[in-house]
Amino acid sequence: MYAKRAAIVVITSLAVSSFAESVISPEVHQDRSVTFRLKAPNAKGVMLRCEGKTAPMQKDEQDVWSITTAPLDPDIYSYSFLVDGLRINDPGNPLLKYSLIDTESQVHVPGPTTLAWELNDVPHGVIHRHHFRSKIIGDEREFLVYTPPGYDPVAKRPYPVLYLLHGFSDAENAWIDVGRANVILDNLIARKQAKPMIIVMPLGYGDLHMLDGGWQANTKSPEWWKLRDESFKKFHDSLLAEIIPSVEKNYHVSMKRTARAIAGLSMGGEQSLLFGLNGPDRFAWIGAFSSGGLKNIDFNQKFPDANEKVNHRLRLLWISCGKEDELFASNQKFEQWLNTKGIAHTWVEKPGRHSFLVWRRSLAEFAPLLFQDNR
C-alpha cells in the first residue's frame, strides 16, 4: 500500500544541531524590545512570524539568525520561525502555545502587576484535569476545572460556574496555558473585582475529524460544514449530559441557571451563542469573544427562538471583537441582527486582531460582570 519502507537505523556519524545549542531565544531586554535567535547554518533565509506580522532575520558569522524588535507593549505574544518557508517553533523556548494543528512559541514581555494576566503574590486557585469516556462522542477526553482560591466544598453558598470554551485548533488547556484564565481570575478575586467562581473548560469538538489535514481547503465544501454542525451538536449534548452533571456531582456548585455562564473565543464564542441563546433555561450569562462562523450561518435559522422574550431570562449577553480581526464584520453583523430582534446585549470593540491579546483582555473585562446579581 505504501512504497517506501525502511528500518530506522543508527547513523552515528551524523552531525546533529542540538536544540537550543547555546543560543538564547527569546531574550527580552530592559526596554521591552525582544531579540529572537535561531541557529540554522544551512538555511538560506529565516523569518520571524509574530502575531500575524512577518520580518526577515539576519545571519551572523556564527550562523545564528536574529532579529530585535522595537520595544513592545507588555503582553504575551505568539510567534514562530519560517526557515526557508518551513514554519517551526523556537527550539530553545519552552513557553509554547499548544494547539492541535499549529503549536507556536510564546514570549512574555512582563508588565505592571496591574495587568490582568501578570502573576501576583495572591492566593491561587487549583486546576483539575478530569478524564472521562464520552459515550455521546465515543472517545476518551478530558476537561479542566478551575476552583478559586480557598475553594470550600462545604461552603454555605454553592459556587457559580463559568463554562469557558476554546477556539478552533486549540484544546481544553488553551484558556489556562495561553489565556491564563486562572491567573486572571486569581487576580480579579484577590481584588474583589470578580465573584469566586468555578470555571470548566471542556474540549470543544464533538468530532475531531473537523481538524483533519487540509481543513482550510475542506471548509470550501458543504460536507465540512455538515461535519461541523454534527460536531457542535455532539459537543453540546456531551456538555449537557456528561460534563455538567459530572461537575455538579463532584464540585460544590449551584445548579440554578442564574449561577451558570457560558463564554468562549472564536469557535467557542459561536458555540456560546448557540448553546446560550438557544438554552436560556441553562445559561443566564453569555460571553462571545471574536466569534467564528457567523459569516456562514443564517441567524434566523440557527437562533429560532431568539427574540425580546429572552431579555427576561438572560442576565448578560456580552459580545466583543478586535477591530483588526477578519471576523469583525461578521461579529458586527450579528450584533446588528440582535438589535433588529430587540435582544439586549453589550457590544465591545477592542483594539487588535484574532489573538489571545484580545481574549485575555476580554475575559478580564467579562468575568467581573458575572453573577453579580446571583440570587
Question: Looking only at residues 258 through 277 of this chain, which bind a copy of itself when binding is defined by CB under 8 A?
Answer: none
**Is 130 one of the binding residues for a copy of itself (CB under 8 A)?**
yes
CA distance readout (Å), 138 to 65, 196, 209, 238, 242? 46, 34, 13, 10, 12
Among 128, 252, 302, 313, the residue binding a copy of itself under the rule CB under 8 A is 128
Establish how many alpha carbons lie within 13 A of residue 30's alpha carbon, considering only the half-sphere containing its beta carbon: 0
Among 62, 112, 114, 121, the residue binding a copy of itself under the rule CB under 8 A is 121
3-state secondary structure 128-183: EEEEEEECCCCEEEEEEEEECCCCCCCCCCCECEEEEECCCCCCCCHHHHCCCHHH
Among 26, 74, 75, 88, the residue binding a copy of itself under the rule CB under 8 A is 88
**Is 112 one of the binding residues for a copy of itself (CB under 8 A)?**
no
**Is 223 one of the binding residues for a copy of itself (CB under 8 A)?**
no
Question: Looking only at residues 2 through 61 of this chain, which bind a copy of itself when binding is defined by CB under 8 A?
Answer: 2, 4-11, 14-24, 29, 33, 35, 40-44, 47-56, 58
Nearer to a copy of itself, 97 or 345 (CB): 97
**Is 132 one of the binding residues for a copy of itself (CB under 8 A)?**
yes
Structural contact between residues 366 and 331, judged by C-beta atoms closer than 8 angstroms: no
Q: What sign for the dihedral angle of Cα 47, 48, 50, 53?
A: negative
CA distance readout (Å), 308 to 150, 289, 340, 341, 343? 39, 22, 10, 6, 5
Query: Distance between CA 279 and CA 266 in Å, rounded?
Result: 19
Backbone angles phi, psi at 117, to 5 degrees: -100, 5
DSSP 259: G
Helix, coil or strand: residue 71: coil
**Is 301 one of the binding residues for a copy of itself (CB under 8 A)?**
no
Among 134, 182, 272, 330, the residue binding a copy of itself under the rule CB under 8 A is 182
Count of CB atoms situated within 10 Å of the CB of 85: 8
Among 62, 112, 192, 214, the residue binding a copy of itself under the rule CB under 8 A is 214
Q: What is the per-residue binding string for a copy of itself in 135-174, x denoting contact by CB under 8 A?
A: -----x------------x-----------------x---
Helix, coil or strand: residue 323: coil
Query: Distance between CA 120 and CA 113 in Å, rounded?
Result: 6
**Is 92 one of the binding residues for a copy of itself (CB under 8 A)?**
yes
Among 73, 110, 113, 129, the residue binding a copy of itself under the rule CB under 8 A is 129
Nearer to a copy of itself, 103 or 374 (CB): 103
**Is 86 one of the binding residues for a copy of itself (CB under 8 A)?**
yes
Among 73, 110, 113, 133, the residue binding a copy of itself under the rule CB under 8 A is 133
Nearest approach, Cβ of 169 to a copy of itself (angstroms)? 9
Helix, coil or strand: residue 90: coil
Number of residues that bind a copy of itself (CB under 8 A): 83
Contact segment (CB under 8 A) with a copy of itself among 89-97, 189-197, 271-279, 324-332 equals 89-97
Among 97, 124, 350, 360, the residue binding a copy of itself under the rule CB under 8 A is 124
Nearest approach, Cβ of 97 to a copy of itself (angstroms)? 12
Query: Distance between CA 96 and CA 106 in Å, rounded?
Result: 5
